Structure 1
Amino acid sequence: MTRKYKLNLKQALIIVFVVAVGFSGCKKYLDINQNPNNPDKVDPPLLLPTVEAAISQVIGNSFQVYGNMWAQYWTQSPLSSQYKAIDEYSPVNTDFNNAWLNLYRVALINSDLIINSPELKMENIKGIAYVMKAYSFQVATDAFGDVPVAQALQSTSNLNPKYDAQQVVYDSIFVYINKALPLLNVSDAISPGTQDLIFQGDMTKWIAFANTLELRAYLRLAIKDPATAQAGIAALYKTSPTFLTQDATITYTSTGGNENPFYNEMISPTLNKTQNVVASSTIVTALQKNNDPRLSKFFFLYNNNAAGDTVTSIPQGYYVIDAYKVVSPPSALVGGRALDPNSATAPVKLISATESYFLQAEAVARGWATGTVTTLYKQGMQASFTATGVGDATMFIDTAKSGLPALTHAGTNVDTLVKAIITQKYYAMCGFQGFEAWTEWRRTGYPTFFTTSGASIIAAGQKPLRMLYPNSELVSNSNYPGTVPVYTPVWWGLPNP
């Protein structure tokens, strides 16, 4: 069943922009005690693209920068200065105002408005809203640790929501996913159609997304709470779940207002097409050791300071030591090259097909799910090669040290199998899913070749393990838990990866 609606991506992004005036520049923001949309009665399909666009704005802009730099894909350019504090491991809490606002005051509040709408035949759209609610809370808690959940969306009835422990947040994530699935399976509900910016109303894909998100969430607990993770994954597999075989993504256009969020930030008057992020030697060296053909897809090629055939890099945080060196920027494929308008159309990947296969491979490697590790591992690598336009990965998989040999040499040792899987997932996420790659490193300690930023101003050997609570919470929420240093692990994280 379909119904026509008229809110497009640009309009959704404008609503998001009202809340977040830009990651890099203006520190003004709306009073978080006010709902920026303030809809008394709105059709759920009209709210849905706003929810999806808000989440993508977070993952595709501020968390894209922080994630890719702290995952050591990108580092600050020696020729600019915008993100020096990130390489110094000394962010300021105002940097996270906009991300928090987009998650809570746009994505989550509007998800709840959809869920609580009295309109009939909205089961599918409500199911999507539950999935987006689960996804948003996972992003929030993975970034910040303890966050408000139970009292978070009570609007004017509670302006000071208490913070829930991260374990409780994860319990809520599973509840929301389980509420989503039966709603997504209703066959005679009104379809959101093109108002759904991610799957255009395809419920089969949304069910696969929900299952993949649930698998991701349980695996996040694999080291901290293996009993819960194992039981949850076993229960999930008893339902014969489908998982994503394509990216869950919003694709942007080159039309004004519809660009990739990070590219839109780079071409803003504040940054004025300045190239602030460049290739980190951490990832470049690792890919070069394996003769990985994806390297030239992740980064722009230079030769004697001009377009050419070489990826140049600097060690993480060496923007002072290597001052004035021209370094390869991220490619337009990942939306990271300021001077390439093709960056405008780079997608924001909420969960990728590559990630889906590697999640399944890990679940099987741990003995918690059915399937073949080798097959899923190969599928994950092939999905990455396809996404980067490299083509058939068969020869690379069979011969590269980081490919099948890494898995084969692991034998049946679970830790070694997981190391091979997570390391290969790390390579695949370069530029596309920096926040998730950094998060997986915090969970597993893989890959093992991270260095400490040369610009770090915190204690020797320490690295960032969380983001700071935003200043907006400090000034407005009496239940603000206080400043937690960036080197303090979140509940599920390793203390010293």
Structure 2
Amino acid sequence: MKKILIYFGVALLASSCSKSYLDVNTNTNSAASSRSDFEFTGAVANTALFCFSATGTGTGPNHIGGAWAGIYGLSTSYTGFGQQKTYIFANSDFTYWDALYQNLYNYKYVIDNGKAEGFAHLIGPAKIMQSYVFQVLVDMYNNVPYTQFANPTFITPTYDKGQVVYDSLLKKLDAGIADLKANNFPTTTAEDIVFAGNKTSWIQLANTIKLKILLRQAYIPGKDAFITTEINKIITEGTGFLTVNALIKPGYLKAAGKLNPLYANFGYNENDVEQQNHMAYKVNNFLTDYLKNTKDTFRLQRKADVKTSSPIRVDGTTTNTASPIDVNNFANYVGIPLGAVGSTYATSLTSAIGSSLIVKGEATRPMVFMSLAESFFLRAEAAQRYSIAGLGVTQTLYESGVTNSFILDAGNTTSSAPTASTAVATAAAVAYLARPIDNVNFVLSTNKITAIITQKWLALAHFNNFEAWTEWRRTGIPAVPLSISVTANPIQPRRFYYPINESNTNKGNLDLEGVINPYISKIFWDAR
């Protein structure tokens, strides 16, 4: 990787997506061309780029996850996007493999060279971030190279079972925690673009990722004892789970190549010119209908924008008195079913992605890597399933998750709703949680796990759609409807194909995986 001198995710590894996996098992970095602090900062920014956005039109994990988790529909003003709408795709589609492995290699550089270069404090965070990316790879492809990863001795690396990788990641996260405890951050920590040198927060992130890895396996028969034991180990460690949103802040600028990647992909360019994805990717009616049916006006106004043909506010705090708009009128929010056809769902008649993610001109927001709401919902599920006292009270954790979802969604001025302070967002959440509605009011909810995962889906919407789709694959919650355009494959995919590049460069090991059918070849944890 080229030496990185500025901390902008979109400008870091333009060439990495074209690298083959074989390149990753060849050390392209050296002490002469790299340095651990630059490598770490660039790798973290690229994790934000590759795991949440990716380049191109409609091809990133956030696009695909959004379409298949009932979060996004597609405007009928645009053609294309057939893979999302029909579930028919090939091994040349959704090829995240190379970029993610290159990202892993950059973290490995830090792990291997950080101590010698005077950056031992980054080794623990690098192991934590590497664990996160490896989990994403398993959740996409199931069995992946892990043991022989980045080892030039193995030019064609073998595939480790997904279960083996997951188990190994728990150990890697423990090692990362140990490294953090053994090494203090220096006073100046510009290279840490997540927690600014707060190693307690890094350890809490590691514990939260461990909890996510464990709960992903909750539907595997016979796993309860193992999961319970491992969660108790996390509690015994004592640092706890995330207490703040984990945000990636490389210093995005409103300049070409330096924008927040999601803003650049789903919103506008540096000159405030609307991008095609903002016009094509609309909020799914499954999401808008759910928010309407549960009288969740607060999040509806922020997850979705008013339909494009509605009179638009001059700004987010005052209405245009010449053509006022009632932002509380549900009719002004129109979602699109995935795969819809016909002029009813044209761009001008439907709701764009809301202010929780996109506000025109706000190009420099940090990326949400893992939200505090997600952390609370993980703890709530674990407490409900396993009755582990050290996790907290399930209802309190659930309600904290919902409240923090409101707070995260509320942070910006928009054309649909004014900025809401934390106090206003909290009050709205309290009122919402008191409503006698299933999967809203925790006490009255008939299935507590369904309530937790449903609210987690809402919290993840826009910020991490791939995780929302992954959780749907694990739990079947919520009951996401099939695309209207489905014909040949009337079921949702459960995974991606291995990329075509693997069949060209690592065919012998790939063939050992057998024939992959993305509709029935499930990830190992997909056991419900």
TM range (shorter): 0.7 to 0.9
1:365 — aligned with what?
A: 384
CA distance in 2, matches of 1:486, 1:77: 26
CA distance in 1, matches of 2:183, 2:162: 35
Map 1:338-353; keep pairs closer than 5 Å: 340-342=360-362, 344-353=363-372
Is 1:491 matched with 2:524?
Answer: yes
Cα distance, 1:205 vs structure 2: 1.1
Contact 2:22 2:155 in 1 (8 A): yes
Secondary structure, in 3 states, of the residue corresponding to 1:418? Answer: helix
CA distance in 2, matches of 1:207, 1:167: 23
1:163 — aligned with what?
A: 159
Cα distance, 1:494 vs structure 2: 3.7
Contact 1:82 1:276 in 2 (8 A): no
Among candidates 128, 134, 145, match of residue 148 of structure 1: 145
CA distance in 2, matches of 1:313, 1:369: 40
Cα distance, 1:332 vs structure 2: 4.3
Task: Summarize the Cα distance change of 1:215–1:111 in structure 2 as closer, same or farther, 3 Å threshold.
Answer: same
CA distance in 1, matches of 2:342, 2:231: 47
Task: Summarize the Cα distance change of 1:273–1:6 in structure 2 as closer, same or farther, 3 Å threshold.
Answer: closer
Cα distance, 1:14 vs structure 2: 2.4
Q: What one-letter code is carried by the residue in structure 1 that aligns with 2:396?
A: T
Contact 2:11 2:258 in 1 (8 A): no
1:39 — aligned with what?
A: 29
Q: What one-letter code is carried by the residue in structure 1 that aligns with 2:382?
A: A
Kindly provide the CA deviation profile for residues 316-342 of structure 1, in whole angstroms up to 9, marking residues without a partner as x: 21145745362111124314x7xx343
Cα distance, 1:123 vs structure 2: 3.1
Structure 1 unaligned spans of 5+: 21-28
Secondary structure, in 3 states, of the residue corresponding to 1:408? Answer: coil
Q: What one-letter code is carried by the residue in structure 2 that aligns with 1:441?
A: W
Secondary structure, in 3 states, of the residue corresponding to 2:368? Answer: strand
Map 1:128-143; keep pairs closer than 5 Å: 128-143=125-140
TM-score by length of 1: 0.87
Is 1:408 matched with 2:443?
Answer: yes
Secondary structure, in 3 states, of the residue corresponding to 1:349? Answer: strand
Is 1:471 matched with 2:500?
Answer: yes
Structure 2 unaligned spans of 5+: 54-59, 313-324, 411-419
CA distance in 2, matches of 1:286, 1:70: 16
For these two proteins, the number of residue pairs brought into alignment is 467
Map 1:75-474; keep pairs closer than 5 Å: 75-97=73-95, 99-105=96-102, 107-117=103-113, 118-119=115-116, 121-154=118-151, 156-188=152-184, 190=186, 193-224=189-220, 225-251=223-249, 252-265=252-265, 273-274=275-276, 275-292=279-296, 293-302=298-307, 304-307=309-312, 308=325, 309=327, 310-320=332-342, 322=344, 324=346, 326-335=349-358, 340-342=360-362, 344-370=363-389, 371-389=392-410, 390=420, 391-392=425-426, 393-399=429-435, 401-402=437-438, 405=441, 407-410=442-445, 416-447=447-478, 449-460=479-490, 462-474=491-503
CA distance in 2, matches of 1:459, 1:139: 25
CA distance in 2, matches of 1:331, 1:471: 36
TM-score by length of 2: 0.82
CA distance in 1, matches of 2:187, 2:176: 15
Structure 1 window deviating more from structure 2 (144-153 vs 299-308): it is: 299-308
Kindly provide the CA deviation profile for residues 112-149 of structure 1, in whole angstroms up to 9, marking residues without a partner as x: 11111151653320000100111011011011111111
Contact 1:260 1:348 in 2 (8 A): yes
CA distance in 1, matches of 2:154, 2:186: 33
Cα distance, 1:181 vs structure 2: 0.4
Identity %: 26
Secondary structure, in 3 states, of the residue corresponding to 1:249? Answer: strand
Cα distance, 1:357 vs structure 2: 0.5
Cα distance, 1:272 vs structure 2: 7.5
Cα distance, 1:254 vs structure 2: 2.2
Contact 2:377 2:456 in 1 (8 A): yes
1:26 — aligned with what?
A: none
Structure 1 window deviating more from structure 2 (58-67 vs 181-190): it is: 181-190
Cα distance, 1:191 vs structure 2: 6.5
Secondary structure, in 3 states, of the residue corresponding to 2:282? Answer: strand
CA distance in 2, matches of 1:84, 1:243: 40
